[in-house]
Structure 1
Amino acid sequence: MLQLPNPIGDEKADKIITEFVNYRLMEIMEDIILDEVVWGMAQRGELDESASTKSFDELVDLKELMLDDEFAAAVSMSYLPDNYPLEKANKKFFGLYKLLKAKKEYVPDLTTEYVLYSIIESEIGEVDMINQDIEDGLFDGLEDDMIDGFDEDFDEDYDDDEDDFFGVDFDDDEELSTVERIPEPDRSVVKKAALESYKGDFEGEELEETAEYLVNCYEDLREYLDICFWDTDCLFLDDYTEEQLAQLDLNEQLGIVAEKEKKIIEFPFQNKEGKQTRIKAELDIDPWDLEDE
């Protein structure tokens, strides 16, 4: 899981928050992955109505996508720095997905943080764009046009609630929100922990408002650009590669590019004369690669 900076300090509340935020981010990533997979199926003429009944795991083969150049091009264009090698795009994108699903908590490397930042920013931008279209009246009367496209016999099967069939609420006045509430009773646990955390600094109505604001931060995707990151150093990748950043004097001062974790392993080796010895090797590792699937 993604390790969040600045926890409240209550073990139960922090566990609820971490799992909630990670699961929400994972769902956003699965929507991105599914959109690309379904679009590819449609282009190949493989998309039929049975796809609507299948789960994410039934539709998506992650091992196959890891080798998919078209998927790499799509995620590279949207979520990775311009200078990032295309052949590494899928590994980095799915590295974030695996991190979010991991049982342990990790701080991502710089490029993985960039992917996460881009995904959050893109999701917020999409909500804002749709809300602007709603405000401009782009969807006015859309449900009538869609319903008219089906014959009467088909409509009869769904005459109880046509909107439910399409999975869309066509309320012209209802905008999309970036807020998703923590379900009860978990929300009350987090709120209580927030109240305890701020008790020495605030009191009365001000304490209540401050605690509520903190809970809202974990519920509003707009706040994730702050609460999910220790800093915004990953945005330096718009101008430099990780290798270039590592050579900058600024990196020595700020530690922008963290030294990669290494693992020393020993393995048996037999030389040309048949003499057995052991050789040490140093490997760069990603911590979440060590976890079981």
Structure 2
Amino acid sequence: MKTYCFANDQIIASKDAYLHPMDIGLIRGYGIFDFLRTNAYKPMFLEDYLDRFTRSAEKTHLQLAYTKEELRLIILELIDKNDLKEGGIRLVLTGGVSENHFSPTKGSLFIFNEALDFPAQEKYEQGVKLLSVEHVRAIADIKTTNYAFPVWHSAQWKAAGAEDVLYHWNGVISESSRSNIFVIKDGAIATPNNHILHGITRKRALELAPKTEIREITMDEVFAADEIFITSTTKKILPITRIDDKIIGKGIVGPYTAKLIESFATMETAVLA
């Protein structure tokens, strides 16, 4: 089936999109992206994602030639042309082709639609495992295209039967490779405050649990937690029942996490109304 994307400042067939081989987005891994999804043809929480994308461009000194309103209209047109009822929308802004092959310059903007698969239902019912690793993501508050470390490391966590990783440094946790993390103990919820991407699903979870503490969380607290869950666009709210070989809590999806999963589904339904 023919699909369309936004590239070269216009909507074209996806197969005709191209990137200059000397773009520093390719040779230096310097660029930004964002990713959101549609539900019943509606881009979920679109304004939040556009806000983050434009902030990322500003923070990385990349020239974004389109306003948020222009981006919104392009996205809506792509959803219509691709008949994207349930799927993903990826925005990418590259570093451009610079004279010294290093410094950012005028880059290329791409917007693609793509298929989207959520984790299997049994993972929401039984929880999943994370593999802890000592690492701090570079400029974590910006959604850059540089995923070299987690892509390389993914073979190890998959071999260990893990869904993803839990980054920690000096005994303090930050995030997963593509998700934020929340820890629950005695009914009190907390989430890390440093070295994290401020996820849009994280933001919604904080709205659903406004008493959540945003603070430093240690690995000791993680292993002593009653419940843990991660949040992201492609996982929503996903329970964690094991870290490494340590069972979290009772090893089942806890009541607070289950309630938040239900509340998040209700929130999405309200957005669609």
**Range into which the TM-score falls when normalised by the shorter chain:** under 0.3
Q: Which has the higher strand share?
A: 2
Q: Which has the higher helix share?
A: 1
The structure that has the greater radius of gyration is 1
